[in-house]
């Protein structure tokens, strides 16, 4: 279990030694915590983000190298895939939360949500799967982890039309990739967090008409009575990228504090 970002105690099978893992949106929040946790578990981590300034906190962390990457740019993705050695793991963490009902969702917001939450994952997987397959053939198992949400096909939430629809699509994409490559030992799973206390969430709270009430509302929907921390997510991230989960594929893994019970 994790005490703080990157401080992970795990069983013998949950190790990432010798593994090379790429993480998107690693500048803050779950992505940054996952980069630290994977490096602490022995991986060589390529931490990417569109914002190079956010990656500065990871620069110099043992086991982590940083790259600026806009996951909505297909040419940039392909160039990075051509440059890097084959991967053992890929964590597609980038995404956006659109706030609004169907009647508050215009075409521009919908297109942006689909592009960042779904199409970017298609492009990332398409670029890196050939290398992941080569590594699976030589090493026995490789893994893709896609960021979904409890707000998806798992559960509907008020004012989350674009988010819920795109995160449901991520689960469908995950299962399709898992089915395509299961016989070649490339696994693909989706992480479905509950409400996690991240800079992005704090930004949404701050922009609410009543920030104090907004925070109370987010907490109230969690049966455990608190927001998740990023370190509530990282043990599952490490496990799903490790050989300890070598018989797990095509799953939407809920880490939601009981919200979808």
Provide the 3-class DSSP secondary structure of residue 208: coil
Active-site residue (options: 163, 215, 218, 243): 163
- Has 163 been annotated as catalytic? yes
* 86 class by beta-carbon count within 10 Å (0-12 exposed, 13-18 middle, 19+ buried): middle
Residue 67: its H or E element: strand 64-68
DSSP per-residue codes, 106-122: -HHHHHHHHIIIIIHHH
Tally DSSP H helices, then E strands, for the chain: 8, 9
DSSP type of residue 183:
G
Q: Which residues are catalytic?
A: 163
């Amino acid at each position: 279990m994790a005490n703080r970002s990157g401080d992970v105690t795990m069983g013998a099978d949950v190790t990432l030694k010798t593994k090379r893992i790429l993480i998107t949106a690693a500048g803050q929040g779950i992505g940054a915590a996952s980069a630290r946790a994977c490096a602490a578990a022995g991986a060589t981590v390529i931490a990417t983000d569109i914002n190079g300034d956010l990656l500065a906190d990871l620069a110099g962390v043992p086991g982590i190298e940083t790259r600026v990457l806009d996951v909505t740019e297909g040419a940039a993705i392909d160039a990075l895939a051509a440059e890097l050695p084959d991967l053992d793991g890929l964590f597609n963490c980038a995404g956006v939360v659109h706030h609004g009902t169907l009647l508050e969702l215009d075409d521009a917001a919908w297109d942006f949500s689909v592009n960042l939450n779904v199409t970017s994952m298609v492009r990332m997987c398409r670029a890196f799967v050939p290398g992941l397959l080569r590594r699976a053939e030589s090493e026995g198992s490789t893994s893709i982890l896609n960021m979904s949400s409890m707000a998806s096909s798992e559960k509907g939430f008020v004012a989350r039309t674009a988010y819920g629809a795109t995160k449901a699509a991520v689960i469908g994409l995950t299962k399709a990739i898992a089915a395509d490559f299961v016989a070649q030992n490339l696994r693909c799973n989706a992480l479905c967090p509950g409400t996690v206390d991240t800079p992005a969430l704090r930004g949404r709270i701050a922009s609410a008409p009543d920030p104090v009430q907004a925070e109370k509302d987010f907490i109230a929907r969690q049966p455990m009575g608190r927001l998740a921390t990023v370190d509530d997510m990282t043990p599952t991230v490490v496990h799903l990228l490790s050989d300890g989960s070598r018989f797990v594929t095509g799953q939407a893994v809920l880490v939601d504090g009981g919200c979808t019970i």
